[in-house]
Amino acid sequence: METQELKIFSGSAHPELAELICQQLETRLGEALVGTFKNGETRIRIEEHVRGRDVFVVQPTSTPSDHHIMELLLMIDALKRASAGRITAVVPYYAYAKQEKKTTGREPISAKLVANIITEAGADRVLAVDLHAPAIQGFFDIPVDNLTAMPLLADHFYYRQFQNVVIVSPDTGGVARANDFRTRVGASLAIISKHRPVPDTSEVIDMVGDVDGKVAIIVDDMISTGGTLREAADLLYSRGAREIHVYATHAILADEAPEMIQESRLESVTVTDTIPIPHELIDGKIKRLSVAPLLASAIRRIHEDSSVSELFKQARFRQAELL
């Protein structure tokens, strides 16, 4: 499909990231009214011409997830009714991703429902970063580009110049992600086995791999309550790890996670800006990299109808400077 001028709009979830993407693309952020009525309902109005345009809506569905999802849906609907040529929902962080299957009876599959309503609202395509479960791509009946932040994080790993390293997956579900990182940096792999007796609570069972005397790098897709990292750090130190660092994509940092990280044995935690992080937290152990170059490159390729997968074969997102 041949489309016209590229336009980027942002909801209220992460306008800073949307502005950084626009800077990379040397364009301006589209004008839109995003707010609430006095009764608390979400108010959306697109304030410029979009007929026939190739439109991208940047909106991670982070906390408060339900509100940010509703903003995204209403923006897509407004753009559809304004005759936009193509609408891509840029969702750097996809909420409800951990609810991609039923674990007990009488539960919803929330990740599937979110996919349904984004499609029904009128999105033609979805652009996400490190979906928690790859199966979520199959929940959509429209194209989904699931980017990975692993090249960006691996490039920063090189900048740190660690020696004698082992890459650690904090659970069996993240082995493919940790192995991808391990392949990029050339290190050995260790795997921690855990289970969740109740939601948001994890218990470490055992570990496979040698970490004695090594710098352990925990690689994960998201940091929620921080409990997994704390238990993993304790286990790694008990097995002789010299230092422990973390690389993760999504910094949810729910509840008391920032305090837990600061009080833990972790030397550093490097995350991306798929989710906005209060600036006062970006010091000490928590460090942040931007996915704006990655998303901007993908948006450019989608707009030009070229391959997004080739992006990871040809491009590097080396970024020595932290935000």
Angstrom distance (rounded) from CA 273 to CA 14: 9
Angstrom distance (rounded) from CA 179 to CA 190: 9
Angstrom distance (rounded) from CA 78 to CA 66: 18
Residue whose C-alpha is closest to residue 319's, from 50, 24, 64, 1: 24
Residue whose C-alpha is closest to residue 87's, from 73, 106, 67: 73
> Within 13 A of 19's CA, how many CA atoms are on the CB side?
6
In 93-116, which positions are buried (b, 16+ CB within 10 angstroms) versus exposed (e)?
bbbbbbbbeeeeeeeeeebbebbe
Residue whose C-alpha is closest to residue 289's, from 323, 320, 318: 323
Angstrom distance (rounded) from CA 76 to CA 289: 28
Angstrom distance (rounded) from CA 168 to CA 323: 25
Catalytic residue chosen out of the listed positions 7, 80, 98, 194:
194
**Token pair in block for residue 54:** 């190739």
Angstrom distance (rounded) from CA 273 to CA 88: 20
194 has catalytic annotation: yes
DSSP string, 226-272: SHHHHHHHHHHHHTT-SEEEEEEEEE---TTHHHHHHHSS-SEEEEE
Active site residues per annotation: 194
